[in-house]
Chains A and B, each alone.
Chain A
Amino acid sequence: SAVISQKPSRDICQRGTSLTIQCQVDSQVTMMFWYRQQPGQSLTLIATANQGSEATYESGFVIDKFPISRPNLTFSTLTVSNMSPEDSSIYLCSVGGTGPYNEQFFGPGTRLTVL
């Protein structure tokens, strides 16, 4: 499985500011995904990031709030814009979804706290 890293691992931010989270993979992958995990909750898919095309957002998530970049096959960023305390969550990136079992492998996550 791919080795996935995320930066930062955690951050504390003020409301109204923005934070960009980076996801780096050690091999080229077609599909990358961004998830949000609110405190004590399960994972919710924010969007699918495909290289060379616009990200595909799930219902309830919009590009203005969560812009995503995918400049190449090993890297993606998720920005959380104009943050409020409700954005306090763990944000995880994952890769996969195209192998023989459609399994996904996850990065270590970014814990975001918004004050």
Chain B
Amino acid sequence: AQTVTQSQPEMSVQEAETVTLSCTYDTSESDYYLFWYKQPPSRQMILVIRQEAYKQQNATENRFSVNFQKAAKSFSLKISDSQLGDAAMYFCAYSSGSRLTFGEGTQLTVNP
């Protein structure tokens, strides 16, 4: 079974600084997708960024980028120029087929 591990229960960053959230996963599949979701206190799950396993190029969405290391099964999220609105729980997720498997989450605090 696929597993997703986020080893940082909590992280904090100063406003305008950069922070990296870690995620590792375990799978025997070769074709899959990886995602980062954000869940603010409103509890709405928001898709931040996605990565196809067959693509070597790291995905980027504005201030959000990933470092995808397929051999190491690592998928970290970098948030640049952190903003107060980035404060949320961040979940790493894996998909092969239609099912999503989530990590335990990292609570990100942004300090003004």
Contact = CB atoms under 8 A, between A and B. Distances in A.
Contact of B50 (A33, A94, A103): A103
A44 B99 CA distance: 11
A23 interface: no
* Chain A binding surface, main DSSP class: strand
B52 interface: yes
16 contacts: A37-B43, A42-B102, A43-B100, A44-B102, A92-B45, A97-B97, A97-B99, A98-B98, A101-B33, A102-B33, A102-B95, A103-B33, A104-B95, A105-B47, A106-B37, A109-B43
Interface of B: 33, 35, 37, 42-47, 50, 52, 91, 95-100, 102-105
Interface of A: 1, 31, 33, 37, 41-45, 48, 90, 92, 94, 97-98, 101-106, 108-109, 111
